[in-house]
Structure formats: C-alpha cells, structure tokens
Amino acid sequence: MHPKDFLDECSELVRLALQFEHPADSVVSRFFRDNRSLGPRERATLAETVYTVLRKKLLFDHLAPSGSGSKQRRLAILGFHGPRDFLYAALTDQEKTWLENCDQVKTEDLLDRHRHNLPEWLVQPLKEQLKDEFWPLVESLVHGAGLDLRVNALNAKRDDVQKELAKAGIQSVATPYSPMGLRLTDKPALTKLDAFTRGAIEVQDEGSQLLALLLDAKRGEMVVDFCAGAGGKTLAIGAGMRNTGRLYAFDTSGHRLDALKPRLARSGLSNVHPAAIAHERDDRIKRLSGKIDRVLVDAPCSGLGTLRRNPDMKWRQSPKAVEELVVKQTAILQSASRLLKSGGRLVYATCSILPAENEEIALAFSAANPDFVPLETAEVLTHLKVENAASLCSGPVSGGEFLRLWPHRHGTDGFFAAVWQKK
C-alpha cells in the first residue's frame, strides 16, 4: 500500500478509537474485518499506532495544534509505529518540519500531565499509594505488556513445553512467581502450534495465574468461579483439581461463557460446568448455598490494572463509573460468600489498582462478616511454594494480608486479591 494511503488508514482508525464508544481492541478487530486486504505487518503497525496514541494522548493533544491537516492525521503521525522513511514518504515538507520539531521536545520540559498521560482523577490515588514509585509505574504503562502463557498441568510440564516452543523458534522464560507460567519475548501466532491445539498452553497473564493458585482448589471438591468470563482462571482451577470434583463457571454474560467452550474442549477438562446466571441472587446460586468448598470472585471492575494492554480504559472510565462498580462488587462478594460451607475458602479479586475497588471492599466485608476469617495471602502463597511471596503482598496491618501486583514491580498486570476462611 502506498504510504499516503496507509497513513489515511491510520488516521481513520485513530478517529474511530478516539470516539470511545467501544473498547479499543474491538474497534481494531472490526477495522481489520472491514479491511481484509491488510497484511500482518500493516495490521501490527496500525494497531500499535492506535495504542501509542491512546497511551500518550495528553502529550499528543499538546503537540498536535502546531501541526497541519486533520487532528486525527496529526495524532496518527505522532504515534506512527513503523519505519520513519515510510512515514516521511506520506508527509508534506511542512509536516516533516513539524514532526522534527516535536521530536526535539524534551521530557523534562513538559508539564506533569503531558508526562504521565493519565486523567487527573486517577493521579492522586496512585501517588498516595506509590509515592516515589509513581513515575516508574507511568514508565511501565507506556510500554505494552508481554505475552504470558499458562502451561496446562493436567497434560504437560513447563520445561517440556518450553523446549517444544524453542524448537518452533519461540523463545520463552519461566515466570518468576507462577509455577505454571512462561513469558514470551515476542508475540507470535500461537493458534497453529501443536502445543496450543492439544491444550498444553493458554494465554494468561502471570498475575491471573496467581489468583487461581490462591484458591488452592483440591481434588474432589465443589468449587465456584463466580464471575468466570471467558474462563482463563476456570481452566487453571480445573487443572489444579486434576479434573476431579465439580467446578461451576458462573457469569451473567452467556456471550463470554461461549468463548470458554472451545478453550474447555482443548483443555481436556470434564469437571467444568459453565452456566449463565441472571444476577448474583439467581436461583442457581441459592440452590448451592452452604454447599461449596471454595469460591473465587473475580469481580467486574474498572480494569485499570490492564492499562499496558488496554490504554483506552483510562479515558473510558470515570469516578462515577467506579462508584457504581463498588456497589456492584460489594453485592456480588456478599452473595458469593453465602455459597460456602464451614471451613470453605473465599477469594475476592480484581484487575484494578484503585483502593476503592480493592482494600476498601475487603476490609468492609471483613467488618460485616465476622464468620469469615481473613487469611494472609503471603502465607498462603508461601505454602503453595511461590517464590518471594512476601514481595507480592501488602496490607494495613502486617503487610502480607492482600495480594497486590503492579506492572512496574512484578511485570504483571495490576491485580488485587483477598482471602478468607469461613469459620
């Protein structure tokens, strides 16, 4: 494709993504479906250009007015993620001069907002939590996330899969915390690999793997994944149960559960029972009350822990949306807790980095439910032979009460988890 035409495509995709009517990944996917002639390299450049614009939106908004042409064209030029000479072939002399001037701008001369590229309402809670680590977090969010795999313990060993991937030209390292994880240096196409088709690997962030591990579901137990979604954690829990017992995967979205079915077929698991529910007080839930050994509540949340992958989240969320989520999270956790039998384990988790969705929910639940005893996540993970478990945890009392993962510290998405045992 001619550089000028390609830059037009970039500009159009930027325009569509910045409407914020749908998640950026679905906007990009739809654009590719509508433009099937695009090759793999063109698709990669288009996607990375859009994500760069979303990551650095405030900075690019600051630089764009000095350029010429439509705003989305200027943003696409600033965020262009391909060879410079290819881009230059699409630019006027005036645009080239403007871009070179933009390149000369030094980071240290910018206002904080043009450096951190975060909405103001998000800055304060992050600075309060992280203090001197605020800027390292910002730096980690500018770079996209790597690709983590979970090796299916039911039918494969991590070392064997790592060697098999290496033979296929895919380099990986063992994840530092999850005993089932591999981290890839690149983002290769996995779906045609034998390891993928026979269910030996699944794409899953290391942090998400640790949430499933915290539940520590045993052979023969009755277990519920309360907000199962597309089932990444469900599959990890089922493998941990060695395909025994009964694992319910509940979600209010039948569409999300449909995405679990092909993954389930590949995994070789037969102990998983997906079921769509109307709400957290559904009759199916009531029928299981007091009968379940372990419950994972991976609650619907702001998703702000996934900003490396989903930079549009920071522009699509708002304080009001978070307030509404907190009400929902509180109700879901309370309903899910009724499923547990005496001695059962409850895990509450989010992929958020906001205390309002995390520590505040967990502490309020503990205060309202004295029959649920909080467990130290650091101790639970140490018992499960996770290395340096204490470095993954934080809390107001001993520092080990809650799992708290950060991109800049742990190389994972941002995750939170709290664990209780019912008396």
Which residues are tagged catalytic? 351
Q: What is the sign of the dihedral through the CA atoms of 335, 339, 340 and 345?
A: negative
Q: How many CB atoms lie within 10 A of CB 278?
A: 10
Contacts of 75 (CB under 8 A, 6+ apart): 11, 14, 18, 53, 60, 61, 64
Nearest residue to 275 via CA among 299, 258, 296, 297: 258
Q: What single letter denotes the amino acid at residue 318?
A: S
Angle in degrees, 0-180, between the axes of helices 319-337 and 359-368, rounded to the nearest 10: 40
**How many angstroms separate the CA atoms of 387 and 368, rounded?**
33
- 78, 91 contact by CB (below 8 A): no
Q: What letter does residue 24 receive in the DSSP assignment?
A: H
**How many angstroms separate the CA atoms of 345 and 362, rounded?**
14
DSSP letters for 114-135: HHH---HHHHHHHHHHHGGGHH
**How many angstroms separate the CA atoms of 309 and 140, rounded?**
11
C-alpha angle 37-41-44 in degrees, rounded to nearest 5: 100
Two tokens, residue 95: 């645009």
Strands 222-225 and 181-184: what pairing?
unpaired
How many whole angstroms from its chain centre is CA 258?
Answer: 19
- Cα end-to-end distance, the chain, whole Å: 66
- 138, 252 contact by CB (below 8 A): no
Strands 340-350 and 415-422: what pairing?
antiparallel
